[in-house]
Structure 1
Amino acid sequence: MSALGRPQDMFSDTAIQLQPVFAQWIQNTHALAPGATASTSLTWGGGDLVAVGGKVALLPIPLGTADFLSDVWGSISDQGVVTHITGGNFAQSSITINGWLRDFLWAQASQYSSMSLILGRVIGDIVDQFTPSVAMDVTYTPDQPVSNGQELMPNLIASKPHVNVGGVDMRSSYTIIMTDPDAPSPSDPYLKEYLHW
């Protein structure tokens, strides 16, 4: 089964067209609500443009099958080759349901990880915004894997961790940076503890 998200797939004999009907219903509800509830409310999805300070603040976009993958997580090489974040064939995985689901779940997990780093002020204060590009497992001892948001006691992190980078070209090199929540930052310059190994 395929989702018809690309123009060349619209004439396929082996696929059925899927529509995000729930998302379309929500969008339609938002489009009808301003006129139905209050004549002074802002337009949301009704076809009008809302501008604040001369910049677009709200512009409705009709939802269709191509919106299954509205956020593309990937990178472009020096040669101009686009690689999907999962390392797979994005053009193929975007039209198969299983491929789309895998890509969607990976993007959601990556987005969650980034949001927790932003909320914890790691991104912004300590490192710049980045897009996760590989899966990575970090363990200090066989029974102590590191998970997002986990507090690690100093006795567990005295030695270097074991880092497993999966699904990548072994010719690639990576830099692992360990940051401490107590590292000095522009917003909290009084914090002075560092963790080095």
Structure 2
Amino acid sequence: MSDETTERHNAKMKKIKAARDEMMKTKTEEKGLILVHTGKGKGKSSAGFGMVMRCIAWGMPSAVVQFVKGNWDTGEKTLLRDRFAGECRFFVSGEGFTWETQDRERDIAAAKEGWRIAQEQILDPEIRFVLLDEINIALRYDYLDIDEVVAFLLESKPRMTHVCLTGRNAKPELIEAADLVTEFEQVKHPFREGVKAQKGVEF
């Protein structure tokens, strides 16, 4: 790389840094966020559990309420229950995906119990981050009332508590209420080529 190219690059980076420093001066507010992970792509729950681990690292007590997935053994559940039970509470409310249970009334009852637990965890002053894993599925099938969930998040959630809601097909009302929404897009997936879910990658 020539001296001239290096000088141009350095000058450009100085301008970018100066502009960014000015922008950061205006970002002073702190608040608990409502985060939504949705879309057809893989990684929604994985990203949520990544935030749980980040909170644990910062000494921020957390809770997970898992909807729909039931007693499916996952690496996240095993890790958090076995090694980080003091830092993260872990609740399972579902009995499995709805095509597995084939019992709508049981699914609704499980979702409502999960939402009751979720509200308790969100309101607990010791908890700083709550992951509502796959709650969007329960909302999509109207097992829970979307207006009730949104109203609670906007009106009752403690100001500094973060809540992350995952699952496909997030309802428009939730997207509108959220502070941060990420849509996970599927570009390619091995399942379409006949490859089953792989331990450590998908569960």
* TM-score band w.r.t. shorter chain: under 0.3
More helix, by proportion = 2
Q: Scaled by the length of structure 2, what TM-score is found? A: 0.19
Q: Scaled by the length of structure 1, what TM-score is found? A: 0.19
Structure with the larger RCO, 1 or 2 (CA within 8 Å, 6+ apart): 2
